[in-house]
A and B are shown apart, each in its own frame.
Chain A
Amino acid sequence: MANYDWEKRKYVIGAVATAIVLLYIVRLFTLQIMSDDYKKNADSNAFLKKVQYPSRGVITDRHGKLLVYNQPSYDIMVVMNEQKGVDTLDLCASLGITKEDYVRRMEEIKDRRRNPGYSNYTQQLFMSQLSSEEFCVFQEKLFRFPGFYVQRRSIRQYEVPCAALVLGDLGEVSPADIEEDDYYQNGDFIGKSGVERAYEKQLRGEKGTQILLRDARGRIKGRYMEGKLDTRPVPGKNLTLGLDRDLQALGERLMEGKLGSIVAIEPATGEILCMVSAPSYDPRILAGRNRGKHHVRMSADPMKPLLNRAIMGQYPPGSTFKTTQALTFLQEGIITPETAFPCHHGFIYRGLKVGCHGHPSPAKLVPAIGTSCNAYFCWGLYYMFGNRTKYKDVQEAMTRWKDYMVSMGFGYKLGVDLPGERRGLIPNAPFYDKAYRGSWNGLTVISISIGQGEVNATPLQIANLGATIANRGYFVTPHVVKQIQGEALDTLYTRRRYTMVEPRHYETVVEGMRRAVLSGTCRKANLPGIEVCGKTGTAQNRGHDHSVFMGFAPMNNPKIAIAVYVENGGWGADYGVPLGALMMEQYLNGKLSPESEKKAEEFQKRHINYGTEAR
């Protein structure tokens, strides 16, 4: 019966078996070796890279007093498939939300379009950034809410409610931030303004990662390789600011109900002692859960509380600018300290009149500065721009003039360590060539000599001018941060920048500024026991004049240079001088005398009515 043909079928069967195994090996080869996708897939499956956030650097003032620190806040997390049977009314009551909020939030969490990472088994964010107080109530009842968890985070907290615009705020990273720096990922916080933004890299520290193993249901099953590949977070660096906390607080008090700015600088170092911009806000409202709400409200405020006027406001410097003119004319040899110009209630020449108030005429330079004579500086500029032996044309004179201004820190950004600084405006020859089609002379532009017209400067630039005069000819780029923990300051903030004017000419101007305090426009700044030098300014503008003061003290070995700018404050002596005096007294004495304290209270209550027009 045996058929030997059938025995050959063993080859067929063997061949089939071999073919199957070969096919499978080829398949294995394509899966395991030809393609990398599966490996990547597997890693994203199994490894959860958990970010360990470093603590952000703490910020203190120049005396080591705390300004910004981190405070624990609490995120309430929920695991959906564990939270069944929770008394929702009780939960809502202890979190201070309504039932509708609860239902809406739960639906948002489950909506995979809005929450792509949703899983029934993992913690989902239910409510973020609860403060310790809010959290306290909830914590006591936490055991009654199975499936709800608490995750500790930290938010910025502020010791005193001031310097909001200098310190800046934190916000969630934008897609653009992530694109620019791949350090960030969705949900991270980044400095959005002020020091927080400028020193973001130093403050943020370095994130650590913990590689965790995650199972198919998203549950954490321990650490990969016992944490051998994990990295620990590096805490951010602490910053010491040049700011004096008490001075800043006083400044903000004095500027209540006013628009404007006070900037004080330590002349020798360029450290900013205070930077007040009014109106401002309590920095605490931009930290935590309600940031968005407050930010929207303030963005829409016509008084622009989010604008740091100290570096972003560009104002005519007014008479404070006359000091720069005096220095320029002296250095250029247009005048000497003995040169006198007539002033008959102003500069009157060829039908042009720039008014002035009554004072003895003719006046030499020192009294001219002391009484803030407009005519003197108009004549100076007229002679300079008209000098054809020194300059071949008005353009060359203008360029020369502009170079002086720039060397004193005007016209360009000073380079302060805060974002958003504006450059002000110092016109140059092409500017006027364009404006007047080439037909212009010293008389056409005469108002720049008294800090009006086209000239614009930020309060910081004006304060820096004070520092330059106090230093008799140089300044250090003003900066807010005095010290970075474990890191040297940029040389920009330690290097002296000399102006084009020799120190001896500065002495004359200092004398003039001292004269202003003793017998001129700044008499209200004459502090007992302190040799104050100052210069008022009354900057004309479309509405009521701006009140400006620029000064420094003491005259020899100056410790503080200051600029006060009160929008629509009237005469320089109305607001600028008294506020500047109070500030200098506070800084130099460490406190205000009782009379000064009374005066400060009075100014705090004196509000200026600005109407509702956007500014």
Chain B
Amino acid sequence: MERRLDDNKKKGVWRSLDWWTILIYLALLAFGWISICGASYDFDMGGNIFDFDSRSGMQIVWIGTSLALGFILLMLDDKLYDTFAYVFYIILLVALFITPFLAHDIKGSHSWIKIGPFSFQSAEFAKCATALALAKFMSTYGYNIGRAKDFLITLGIIVVPIVLIILQRETGSALVYLAFFLVLYREGMPGCVLFAGVSAVIYFVVGIRYEQTMLGYIPTSVGEFLVLLMVILFTAGMVRAYCGKTPVTRHILLYGLGIVTIALGFSALVIPFDIKWVLVSVCAAMILYLCYVALRERIMRYFYISLFALGSIGFFYSTDYVLNHTLEPHQRIRIYVLLGLTDDPSGAGYNVNQAKIAIGSGGLLGKGFLNGTQTKLKYVPEQDTDFIFCTVGEEEGFWGAAGVLVLFLILILRLIHLAERQPFAFGRIYGYCVMSVFLFHVFINVGMVLGLTPVIGIPLPFFSYGGSSLWGFTILLFIFLCIDARRNLARKD
């Protein structure tokens, strides 16, 4: 009886395994390998792309071992992950903690542990452990994200690895953990928290990035102008979303934007003056107006929204103040580097510019396999790791690059679908964690290459060269596939 169940279980695993995801995974691996070939190929050396001395040859080793790893993970019992989730988490935290002490300095980062000829990046594996721990904790009976204690512990599970990784000087990898907030959102965290968080990030990035640029002849910084404009728009949007159809939205948009437009026109055409004061006044008027509406209608939501607006402005100016007055210059530079502002000493945005040239030169159909000139002649920095998407764009053209993006989208949507079909919260939460990590990586990495997001050095899953990241993503994905494949088997425990 026991034996037959075991047999059934094995057969069932193969039958209920999600082959679609496996197929997409294999396709991305193949595409990724082709890109590595393109990126590391040297016109001078010619050379065999299968040579193990070359990066393309080594990547074959990583791909092979990843496939073996995936197979092993599928064979393991899914109960294992559930049971040992915290153990994995603790082990990885310890590993993250000791890494800086063992690690060699590679480009100022202390995140690599050397074992024999191979180097490992513990942060890549910690993602998976954190996801398991999150899933385990959030699926405990009686968990309520609205309860402060539960929420704080959840937050703690996410924040602790972030802090440890920041200590390794790998801010980029640390930021990936922010993706888990998407999971929290799915599990009941109020949407406004996520929205406020996202808004804060946008204010911060836009505010700093365009701090020095002036708005044409108008002596107002573009960063400040955009942020204050966004405050008005977001506030109006929240009124519409949380208070239903009221004329309040219209009033804010009409009068607020009207006044801003008039000020803009006056400053641009008649007398240039700093229109930031106009925007600040409009925001202040808007906040007062919302408070007045809250008192008149006796609806507290207007009041909360006015707090959002006030908080937004406060946040923006306080970060501005902190950045410019309290931080040491080297700390400020670190933030600028993270945002890709001081990446290039000449300030021309060399990396992103070259990345755009490489992609742009690909055209519709691309230059063909191994025929890309920009990537191979090393115009694009980090072309086989963080900027690998350039190679796709240059050699495979628009169709190839768009195809890769669509493949990733299908993978992400598929993962959402798989997560939602889990019978237990553990599987679902873990599934969302996996999906969020992929989404974040694709969002930041491709966005950076296309010049849309800050330059944060994180790899493109299955494309960027490197064993650690490939193994990390494979483990992340296959644990979920393993859980998913066993979703219908009766649990005796």
Contacts and interface: CB of A to CB of B under 8 A. Distances in A.
A41 interface: yes
A219 B410 CA distance: 42
Given A21-B405, A21-B408, A32 B188 contact: no
Given A215-B378, A216-B378, A221-B377, A13 B357 contact: no
Contacts of B182: 13
A45 B374 contact: yes
B301 interface: no
Given A17-B413, A221-B377, A39 B361 contact: yes
Contact of A32 (B362, B373, B406, B420): B362
Interface string B37-61: 0000011100000000000000000
Nearest to B394: A42
Contact of A33 (B43, B186, B357, B363): B363
Contacts of A35: 360
A1 interface: yes
Nearest to B436: A13
B141 to A, nearest CB: 8
B363 A39 contact: yes
Interface string B344-363: 00000000001011111111
A277 B356 CA distance: 63
B142 A39 contact: no
A47 interface: yes
A294 interface: no
Interface in B414-434: 416, 419-420, 432
A46 B419 CA distance: 47
A14 interface: yes
Given A7-B420, A17-B413, A41 B357 contact: yes
Nearest to A23: B452
B273 interface: no
Contact of B361 (A13, A38, A217): A38
B44 A222 contact: yes
B412 interface: yes
Residue from B394, B397, B398, B406 with most neighbouring chain A CB atoms (10 Å): B398
B409 A21 contact: yes
A40 to B, nearest CB: 8
A29 to B, nearest CB: 7
Contact of B359 (A3, A38, A213, A216): A38
Contacts of A1: 142-144
Contact of A42 (B144, B185, B191, B360): B360
Nearest to A47: B373
A213 B443 contact: no
B450 interface: yes
B363 A13 contact: no
A29 B144 CA distance: 45
Given A17-B409, A21-B409, A27 B450 contact: yes
Categorize the interface residue count of chain A: 35 or more
Interface string A30-57: 0111010111011101110000000000
B450 A45 contact: no
A225 to B, nearest CB: 9
B446 interface: yes
Contact of B374 (A27, A28, A29, A46): A46
Contacts of A215: 377-379
B409 to A, nearest CB: 4
Contacts of A23: 452
Contacts of A213: 43, 373, 377
Residue of A17, A25, A37 with highest tally of chain B CB at under 10 A? A17
Given A6-B187, A21-B406, A213-B43, A31 B360 contact: yes
A24 interface: yes
Contacts of B191: 9, 12
Contact of A39 (B360, B409, B432, B435): B360
Interface residues of B, number: 51
B416 A32 contact: no
A18 B406 CA distance: 9
A114 to B, nearest CB: 20
A43 B361 contact: yes
A214 interface: yes
B185 A9 contact: yes
Contacts of A437: none
B360 A29 contact: no
Interface string B123-143: 000000000000000000011
B447 interface: yes
A301 B322 CA distance: 74
Contacts of B432: 13
A545 to B, nearest CB: 73
Contact of B398 (A28, A39, A47, A217): A28
B459 interface: no
B439 interface: yes
A10 interface: yes
A25 to B, nearest CB: 5
Contacts of B481: none
Contacts of A46: 373-374, 377, 379
A16 B439 CA distance: 10
A20 interface: yes
Given A32-B401, A38-B357, A215-B379, A10 B186 contact: yes
Contacts of A33: 363-364, 398
B402 interface: yes
Given A1-B142, A14-B416, A41-B360, 9 more contacts: A9-B191, A13-B186, A16-B439, A17-B412, A17-B416, A27-B450, A42-B373, A213-B43, A222-B44
12 contacts: A7-B420, A14-B413, A17-B409, A17-B439, A21-B442, A28-B359, A31-B359, A32-B393, A46-B374, A213-B43, A216-B379, A221-B43
